[in-house]
Amino acid sequence: MHGITEILFRLFIIFASAKIMGELFERIKQPALIGEILAGVILGPHLLNLIPNQEIYQVLAEIGVMILLFAVGLHIKVEDILKVGGRSTLVAVLGVVFPFVLGYLYTLIIQHNTIEAMFIGAAMVATSVGITARIFADLNLMDSEVARIILAAAVIDDILGMIVLAIVTGAGQGTLSYVNLGVITLEAIGFVLFLILVGTRLARRYVPRVANLRSRNAVFALALIFLLGLSAVASWIKLAAIIGAFMAGLVLSEFNYRFQLTQKTEPLYDFLVPFFFVMLGSKVDLAVFMQSKIWLAAGLITVLAILGKLIGCGLAVIKSGFKVAFQVGVGMVPRGEVGMIVASIGLASGAISSELYAVVLFMLTATTVLSPPILRRLLAPQ
Amino acid sequence: MHGITEILFRLFIIFASAKIMGELFERIKQPALIGEILAGVILGPHLLNLIPNQEIYQVLAEIGVMILLFAVGLHIKVEDILKVGGRSTLVAVLGVVFPFVLGYLYTLIIQHNTIEAMFIGAAMVATSVGITARIFADLNLMDSEVARIILAAAVIDDILGMIVLAIVTGAGQGTLSYVNLGVITLEAIGFVLFLILVGTRLARRYVPRVANLRSRNAVFALALIFLLGLSAVASWIKLAAIIGAFMAGLVLSEFNYRFQLTQKTEPLYDFLVPFFFVMLGSKVDLAVFMQSKIWLAAGLITVLAILGKLIGCGLAVIKSGFKVAFQVGVGMVPRGEVGMIVASIGLASGAISSELYAVVLFMLTATTVLSPPILRRLLAPQ
């Protein structure tokens, strides 16, 4: 194989930079992933130009993000979805609808492009509840009413986010018409529901048998086969590959504890997910921020992203009083991985411009950085 | 990204076939890796042609084999090397010298090509002690004299195998002269000794500090940085990348238990190593076995591979009696991964022909399949 030395050096540089920047960001109490993205901005073609636009890095990043979504899916039990109360469901649904509509309308007004508007709307949808959850845990408030509402809403939010992503990805690939959009929507919902209803039943039946096979870690191997297979199928039917990965995790979540699936996925996560965030950052052209209109757009879309969750999620629980509504709203503000995935799919498919890509990444980073200190102040005992 | 659907489907097919064939082979009490290689033969260009000759599959296989050698290195403590007694060292050294010389001379006689002869000799060197160890464990003989000699010899054997590989890889890339060969030999031994002497000391000093960093699993991340970095360096100085990977494991082996490095490497192993074995098998052209001279060569080289270890290792312990010598000899016969790696590097660099590649893989498989039943009979209580 030619050039393997060069590839190994580049993999080393990408991985080491991601880990070092992640560590630095953890030290200033920011999520490591922002550091990893910044590593990508620095290594990318617009600055140091150390990551060539080659398939191998793209594919590693893609496998990385599949592992990421698989890990998210592993934490969602189908029973949990059914158990989630009406209030949390409403928080999730309104928290998806409001940001989507705000992002969609804003983009439509400034760009007049429906597909682009759908991608921006979709990128504003999914809450990254991990950051919020850590704050609740730090303050020993995991059993509080607000925490329970938010964590339950996050489960529905993840699934809705996936469906929205599936719809816009599908819509972005064909000619856009109401019929086409309807077909894609049905397909996306059908794929998710089929796997929730039929997939989990098949898993319940066959996973224990696989556990009795001779192969070492047979259930984990099956999980990886599922992950690759469902990702391929999701990609094939024009949903995004990661939706298959997410569903693979969700279908196997019942067996997560028994076969230590999360624990076994962790090293794959540690190794491969940084490639995703670095590649994500490498596509940001910092030069677009030289234009004042980009700052304006970034500021505006960040405000809309915050308002969307505050109003949507807040409204859903307004009966419990203004204070609870505000806490729930702020708790749902941080965006993260899923929004970034939506943006990168949009960029890769040509649906969104590199200006809007930079704007969206700014918004996603800003909501993630701004919410924790506010939430900490809101929740801390007076 | 274009074609990601196709890539995901191919990754799914490669991985699932490997796991299924591995399971089938475990059921007939053969090592899973032979099943995985056979999956590659079937999927490869000579039969189903489902694995295109693309960089992405090659790179995944390369990362897989790096993980494999890293895992081997993690099990070798530097103290163990120093503790290994004179008898085991002699078993390892003679067990390397005899097969190398037999393979080298045989190839030289039939092909008249020094580089090719060196690769074949090198491919006959490394014992795969895992299979032997499992038999000792099954029979509760891990504390026996023979087991202790073999397991200790295997440690030295691994390191010698790496040095031999480094030398032939280096020799295969330049013009072959005694000066060149001397330089490469010094470089290979220097690289290994430097990391054993200096690398372990640096690790002892800095690894505990890394453990105190904020990042989750910081030591494992450091291990992966080491793995990628040393592999790149080894590949750059014309040794094989896997020698760097092996040394990364060896340098960190002291911390293996404390930071659960083997346990964390296992999922990466489960996911990536099958790609290596499938790619290895995919390069076997079964058509060469249509020629009777290939069968003759395969048979002859298998006999030489067995005799090399029986005589070399047996001679080293002949003082302990013929029975012990025979048991030690048979225990050292199984070859495996390292020989396969040597063959695949030889094929990729054009140093060995596809006929000899097939012959060597036959030999490696045959020694692995033949030794266990014989050893079991030799060792079972009469």
DSSP A260-292: THHHHHHHHHHHHHHHHHHHHHHT--GGGGGSH
| Residue A175, pLDDT score | 66
When scoring A29, A74, A215 by the number of chain B Cβ atoms within 10 A, the one with the most, hence best to mutate, is A215
> Would you say residue B10 has pLDDT above 50?
yes
Q: Which chain B residues are Cβ-neighbours of A235 within 8 angstroms?
A: 4-5, 8
Q: Provide the token pair at A291.
A: 């234009």
For A61, A128, A302, the CA distances from A337, given in Å and listed in that order, are 13, 7, 16
Q: Provide the token pair at A94.
A: 């309104």
Range with the poorest average pLDDT among A189-198, B9-18, B181-190: B181-190
Q: Is B138 on the interface with A (CB under 8 A)?
A: no
Q: Cα distance from B382 to chain A (closest Cα, Å)?
A: 29
Cβ <8 Å between A270 and B224: yes
Q: Which chain B residues are Cβ-neighbours of A348 within 8 angstroms?
A: 1
| Residue B303, pLDDT score | 95
Q: Write out residues 226-265 of B within 8 Å (CB-CB) of A.
A: 228-229, 231-232, 235-236, 241, 264-265
Q: What does the pLDDT look like over B100-148, one tens digit per residue? A: 999 999 999 987 788 899 999 999 998 887 778 878 877 888 788 888 8
Q: Is B112 exposed, middle or buried (0-12, 13-18, 19+ CB in 10 A)?
A: exposed
Q: Which chain B residues are Cβ-neighbours of A39 within 8 angstroms?
A: none
| Residue B6, pLDDT score | 95
Q: What does the pLDDT look like over A185-205, one tens digit per residue? A: 888 889 989 999 999 999 999
For A102, A123, A304, B161, the CA distances from A120, given in Å and listed in that order, are 9, 5, 11, 56
User: What is the C-alpha separation between B168 and A317, in angstroms, rounded?
Assistant: 71
| pTM for this model (two decimals) | 0.91
When scoring B134, B215, B268, B280 by the number of chain A Cβ atoms within 10 A, the one with the most, hence best to mutate, is B215
> Which of B1, B228, B267 lies closest to A265 in CB terms?
B267
| Residue A1, pLDDT score | 43
Range with the poorest average pLDDT among A28-37, B192-201, B229-238, B267-276: A28-37
Cβ <8 Å between B267 and A220: yes
Q: What does residue B285 show for φ and ψ, rounded to 5 degrees?
A: -95, 100
Q: What does the pLDDT look like over A107-157, one tens digit per residue? A: 999 877 888 999 999 999 988 877 788 788 778 887 888 888 888 888 788
Q: Cα distance from A156 to chain B (closest Cα, Å)?
A: 27
- Say if residues B251 and B225 touch (Cβ distance below 8 Å): no
Q: Is A350 on the interface with B (CB under 8 A)?
A: no
> Would you say residue B1 has pLDDT above 70?
no
| Residue A174, pLDDT score | 67
Size of interface A-B (CB pairs under 8 A): 139
Cβ <8 Å between A232 and B271: no
Q: Cα distance from A11 to chain B (closest Cα, Å)?
A: 7
Range with the poorest average pLDDT among A156-160, B58-62, B190-194: A156-160
Q: Is B97 exposed, middle or buried (0-12, 13-18, 19+ CB in 10 A)?
A: middle
User: What is the C-alpha separation between A371 and B254, in angstroms, rounded?
Assistant: 42
> Which of A235, A236, A270 lies closest to B221 in CB terms?
A270
Rg (CA), chain B: 20
* Chain A, nearest residue to B212 by Cα: A23
Q: Which chain B residues are Cβ-neighbours of A56 within 8 angstroms?
A: 55-56, 59
Q: Write out residues 49-78 of B within 8 Å (CB-CB) of A.
A: 54-56, 58-59, 62
The complex's ipTM works out to 0.90
Q: Cα distance from A175 to chain B (closest Cα, Å)?
A: 18
Q: Which chain B residues are Cβ-neighbours of A241 within 8 angstroms?
A: 4-5, 8
Is the four-CA dihedral A46, A50, A55, A61 of positive or negative sign?
negative
Q: Write out residues 152-211 of B within 8 Å (CB-CB) of A.
A: none
Range with the poorest average pLDDT among A121-135, A149-163, B165-179, B214-228: B165-179
When scoring A65, A236, A270, A278 by the number of chain B Cβ atoms within 10 A, the one with the most, hence best to mutate, is A270
- Say if residues A283 and A348 touch (Cβ distance below 8 Å): no
Give which of B320, B307, B338, B377 is closest to B94, Cα–Cα: B307
User: What is the C-alpha separation between B224 and A18, in angstroms, rounded?
Assistant: 12
Going residue by residue through chain A, which has 382 residues, state the pLDDT in tens, using 9 for 90 and above: 458 999 999 999 999 999 999 999 999 888 888 899 999 999 998 899 999 888 899 999 999 999 998 998 998 888 877 777 788 999 999 999 999 999 999 999 987 788 899 999 999 998 887 778 878 877 888 788 888 888 888 878 888 888 888 888 887 776 667 787 788 888 888 998 999 999 999 999 999 999 999 888 999 999 999 999 999 999 998 888 988 999 999 999 999 999 999 999 999 999 999 999 999 899 888 888 889 999 999 999 999 999 999 999 999 999 999 999 999 999 999 887 888 889 999 998 888 998 999 999 999 989 988 888 888 888 876 5
- Say if residues A133 and A371 touch (Cβ distance below 8 Å): no
Cβ <8 Å between B213 and A23: yes
Q: Cα distance from A33 to chain B (closest Cα, Å)?
A: 11
Please give the share of chain B, as a percent, with pLDDT higher than 70: 98
- Say if residues B304 and B102 touch (Cβ distance below 8 Å): yes
Q: Cα distance from A292 to chain B (closest Cα, Å)?
A: 31
Higher pLDDT, residue B174 or B228: B228
Distance of CA B204 to the CA centre of its chain: 27
Q: Write out residues 268-287 of B within 8 Å (CB-CB) of A.
A: 268, 270-271
Helical segments of A28-85, H only: 32-43, 55-74, 78-83
